[in-house]
Structure 1
Amino acid sequence: MPSVDTHDAETRIGTLAQLEQAEAGCTRCPLYKHATQVVPGEGRRRARLMLVGEQPGDKEDIAGRPFVGPAGRLLDAALAEAGIPRASVFLTNAVKHFKFEPRGKRRLHKRPNAGEIEQCRWWLEQERRLVAPAVLVALGATAVRTLLGRPLTISALRGRARETEDGTTLIVTVHPSYLLRIRDADSRAREHEGFIADLRRAWQLAGE
């Protein structure tokens, strides 16, 4: 598939369907070479709340949809607990192709590097332009880096609303995959409650 001249493409991308088609031809970084397919954002066109994760995982790469693996199931449950219909939000990732390390028959997640994050930022900007959310939720450090333009810790930002450079309200929280990795039951329950509280705060700020 031919590469996409993204800067010229902006004037031609007027719908999410057109954006998805353009993303499928992206060669801005090498990740497209090994991924099964691009994984575009998904959700309501004028959603007031947009959740931004890190990158697709193995299940998402195969399905071509965001948040359908174990972390996605946890997110679905958390959204339901927070009183947020998944169909009312827009779900996406900072990086649109799955980065992994082969390990036998398995494909192990690898965190995107700064260059890959920066190259993919353009696509997230187009999603934001088309959806125009009132509130963004950064799920994890990679999303924070993309939305704020520099690496910052979750602990330094969590707990109150921030603003991106263009003035959009931003809530920072953990990625749901982090909750899956917590072994201690008490710690997991405490972090889960904090995650639900962050989602509720974002939903309230979005005016939904």
Structure 2
Amino acid sequence: MRDPRSALAETVGRIDSLLVKNGRTREDALDVRELSVRSGVPQHLIPVLLDGGALPPEDITERITNRIVHLRETRLRPDGSRHSYEEIASSFGASRASLSNLVNGRKKVSSPALARSTRSGGPLASTQAGIERFFFGEPNGWLSAEPETALNDALQRVLTDLESTDSSDNLGADRAVALRTAAGLPDDKWQLLQGVIKTLEEQARDDLARGESL
């Protein structure tokens, strides 16, 4: 498995290269608040990670409980209210009190399963999976992911958008070059090119017509 810091550094490097190529900066391309929402990493720590810095060691239980709180604050109900502990816990067969106690760090835990999990250093895998399934539709390791991994995953959408824009720009530039080149063709070759274009247009219309008839 790749080192999370190296993987993040590679992604950030690719993003920076695309930004420089297009005369942009991180400030106008990266929404720190949105990255925080997606990754669960606090906003003030994201610039540190983007610059290759290391964060202080974090207890895994504290990370998970902080991210449970983060999910409740950022993944709201349609009416804008937070999901209740009871609603979340009941989705995977736990009690409201057990989840509330876990998040609030109480020593006395009402659920035997969660009591065993706190002694082992973090919530049981089934508890974590249940919470992730509630918010994401499936277990994905989001609650326990290292900050570098979580931010790297959140940056993939940014990278994809930048690469897509860059590809479109390159295609537009290629078309412009082709048109300038075509403008200087002799009449016979220009007529040949027009014939090819006409054939392609007719084929495209035929393909579209067949698709609409299905």
User: Fold-level match, TM-score > 0.5?
Assistant: no
More helix by share: 2
Q: Identify, as 1 or 2, the structure richer in strand.
A: 1
Larger Rg: 2
